[in-house]
Amino acid sequence: MSNQYAHIIGWGKYLPPRVVTNEEISRIVDTSDEWIMARTGIRERRIAGPGETTATLAFEAAARALEVADVHPSEVDLIIVATSTPETIFPATASLVQDYLGSRNAGAFDLSAACSGFVYALSMASNAISAGSSQVALVIGAETMSRVLDWQDRGTCILFGDGAGAVVLKGSSVPGGLLASSLRSDGSGADLLRLPAVYSSPVPGLDPTFSANGHPRTITMNGRQIFRFATQVVSDIVEEVMEKADLTPDDVALIIPHQANARIVEAAAKKLKMPVERFFLNLEHAGNTSAASIPIALCDAVEAGRLAPNDNVIFVGFGGGLTWAASVLKWDVTPPPVSLSQRQWRRMRYVIARTRSRLRQTGRSVSSMVSGSPTPEARMRDAERNEKKSRSKKKRKA
Ligand code: ACO
């Protein structure tokens, strides 16, 4: 063990500009602003535009977090993106972010634990820092939930939004930072909240090779059961993590919960006998952004002046899996001031990083042309040509 403590030294969020109000959703499904506000506390959410992806949202949040931390992208040695909406299973969204940032010294991977993902990722990165295998880690929660919603299902489409939040963790011998974490899972509740990716068995009536074709990959949820589960586990895990960090409720300045439903938070506050005002909520304007909700709420809490040096803050997430998790952190940062010219220069870094990335891609194409080995595109063209040939051969035989 290296005796390093993982401190948050930077934070950033990005929400797409497009706002979708409850009123707008009530023109798609049979619902109303009054119903959604009363049952969830959500008034509006952000939806990613055509040019935006989980990776671009994650990049924007990460770039802002690095700016606050005054850390150069090359200093980052670990990038974890917690997400349930990667645009591909591989490459990981984290690898795309690593490329966009130009963090050439970083390892990168995605972490899947639904709405608990950010707290899981925070704990993994903190462990890597205290074990000495990492010094500067970027932990990002990023989602484009709008792309996996059934917009005809009023039980789910009213809840979710898109966005990303990020923190920079840095190792230091000064005690503090992430004090304790608890991670939990109960796979027996897997069916209560699902988002299919690769089907485990062929869908009847379809060619097994294309088993997913024609089947929507959208979220299904048993809202009542998830509600019940969440009200039980949030208070339990908050109590557990306070005990691990040797804290009483009075020692905790702020709790930042997963932003799913204001009623879940009210129930948890009641169970914990803590004032509901000690829980930070921003879901009215951001909705449930799954793994992104806690880091986005953290940024909003800092902006609202809800965190002071030496405050103990608890992050608590829950969601699909079922999973739930909590972390206690000592908030002990004062970010250095950044001038406008420094900010502009930092943005230039990312233009340079993209240019370098494209040059590497071009270099690969040129070297495969020179060596005579085909590029991936040429290989795909050849495969298509061969498939056509064998299909017409079969037809002729028949
Ligand atoms: N508008 C109007 N009426 C609706 C809507 C809607 N959008 N949705 C459901 N209703 C109706 C139902 O049909 C039902 O009508 P009925 O009584 O005639 O049958 C009635 O409202 C009550 O339905 P419930 O499902 O009991 O409503 P509930 O109060 O439980 O609220 C909600 C539903 C908001 C989904 C709630 O259950 C909830 O928030 N659950 C938790 C979801 C959650 O936290 N997910 C987090 C994890 S996310 C992740 O991990 C990816």
Query: Has residue 254 been placed in a domain?
Result: yes
The answer, yes or no, to whether any atom of ligand 1 lies below 6 A from the CB of 16, is no
Residue 388: predicted pLDDT: 74
Which contacts (CB < 8 Å, 24+ apart) does range 197-202 have?
197/89, 198/89
Residue 199: predicted pLDDT: 59
252 plus 365 within the same structural domain? no
Closest ligand 1 atom to residue 155 Cα is 8
Of the candidates 7, 22, 157, 258, the residue annotated as catalytic is 258
Atom 30 of ligand 1, nearest CA residue: 224
Average per-residue pLDDT for the chain: 91
Residue 155 C-alpha to ligand 1 middle, in angstroms? 5
Distances (CA, A) of 162 to 61, 89, 372: 12, 19, 44
Query: Has residue 289 been placed in a domain?
Result: yes
CB 170 within 8 A of CB 9: yes
Q: Which among 331, 357, 386 is the end of a domain?
A: 331
Atom 3 of ligand 1, nearest CA residue: 31
Query: Has residue 14 been placed in a domain?
Result: yes
Closest ligand 1 atom to residue 263 Cα is 39
Amino acid 78 reads L
- Examine the pLDDT at 210 and tell me if it is beyond 50: no
- Examine the pLDDT at 214 and tell me if it is beyond 70: no
Residue 208: predicted pLDDT: 44
19 plus 167 within the same structural domain? yes
Share of the chain above pLDDT 70, in %: 91
325 plus 367 within the same structural domain? no
CB 10 within 8 A of CB 167: yes
388 plus 248 within the same structural domain? no
132 plus 256 within the same structural domain? yes
Summarised one tens digit per residue, pLDDT across range 170-199 is 999 999 999 999 999 999 999 999 998 875
Quick one: average pLDDT of 73-100? 96
Query: Has residue 338 been placed in a domain?
Result: no
Residue 69: predicted pLDDT: 92
Summarised one tens digit per residue, pLDDT across range 42-63 is 999 999 999 999 999 999 999 9
Distances (CA, A) of 75 to 66, 70, 78, 124, 336: 10, 10, 9, 18, 17
Parent domain of 182:
5-331
Summarised one tens digit per residue, pLDDT across range 124-175 is 999 999 999 999 999 999 999 999 999 999 999 999 999 999 999 999 999 9
Query: Has residue 196 been placed in a domain?
Result: yes
CB 179 within 8 A of CB 209: no
Atom 14 of ligand 1, nearest CA residue: 155
Share of the chain above pLDDT 90, in %: 79
Residue 19: predicted pLDDT: 97
Active site residue 213: no
CB 95 within 8 A of CB 54: no
203 plus 109 within the same structural domain? yes
Residue 61: predicted pLDDT: 98
374 plus 291 within the same structural domain? no
Residue 201: predicted pLDDT: 55
350 plus 324 within the same structural domain? no
Summarised one tens digit per residue, pLDDT across range 290-342 is 999 999 999 999 999 999 999 999 999 999 999 999 999 999 887 677 777 88
Summarised one tens digit per residue, pLDDT across range 228-266 is 999 999 999 999 999 999 999 999 999 999 999 999 999
Query: Has residue 161 been placed in a domain?
Result: yes
Q: Among 377, 383, 346, 354, which Cα is nearest to 364's?
A: 377
Residue 332 C-alpha to ligand 1 middle, in angstroms? 39
Query: Has residue 337 been placed in a domain?
Result: no
- Examine the pLDDT at 357 and tell me if it is beyond 90: yes
Residue 341: predicted pLDDT: 81
Q: How many CA atoms lie within 13 A of 61 on its CB side?
A: 39
The CA-CA-CA angle for residues 166, 233, 309, to 5°, reads: 40
Residue 197: predicted pLDDT: 81
pLDDT tier for residue 382 given thresholds of 50, 70 and 90: confident
Active site residue 115: yes
Summarised one tens digit per residue, pLDDT across range 271-292 is 999 999 999 999 999 999 999 9
- Examine the pLDDT at 33 and tell me if it is beyond 60: yes
Residue 340: predicted pLDDT: 77
Q: Among 219, 96, 210, which Cα is nearest to 146's?
A: 219
Closest ligand 1 atom to residue 261 Cα is 39
Buried b (16+ CB within 10 A) or exposed e, 23-41: eebbeeeebebeebeebbb
317 plus 264 within the same structural domain? yes
Active site residue 258: yes
255 plus 143 within the same structural domain? yes
222 plus 168 within the same structural domain? yes
pLDDT tier for residue 376 given thresholds of 50, 70 and 90: low
364 plus 259 within the same structural domain? no
Summarised one tens digit per residue, pLDDT across range 11-24 is 999 999 999 999 99
The CA-CA-CA angle for residues 283, 289, 294, to 5°, reads: 75
The answer, yes or no, to whether any atom of ligand 1 lies below 6 A from the CB of 223, is yes
- Examine the pLDDT at 356 and tell me if it is beyond 60: yes
Residue 212: predicted pLDDT: 45
Query: Has residue 295 been placed in a domain?
Result: yes
* Helices and strands (H, E) in the chain, number of each type: 11, 13
The answer, yes or no, to whether any atom of ligand 1 lies below 6 A from the CB of 261, is yes
Total count of domains within the chain: 2
Q: Which among 284, 309, 331 is the end of a domain?
A: 331
Q: What is the pTM of this model?
A: 0.90
Residue 234: predicted pLDDT: 97
Q: Which among 311, 331, 351 is the end of a domain?
A: 331
- Examine the pLDDT at 200 and tell me if it is beyond 60: no
Atom 10 of ligand 1, nearest CA residue: 155
Cα–Cα dist 265/258, whole Å: 9
Of the candidates 22, 115, 157, 299, the residue annotated as catalytic is 115
Q: Among 339, 314, 328, 182, which Cα is nearest to 255's?
A: 314
CATH number where 268 lies: 3.40.47.10
Atom 8 of ligand 1, nearest CA residue: 155
Least confident of 69-78, 204-213, 362-371, 372-381: 204-213
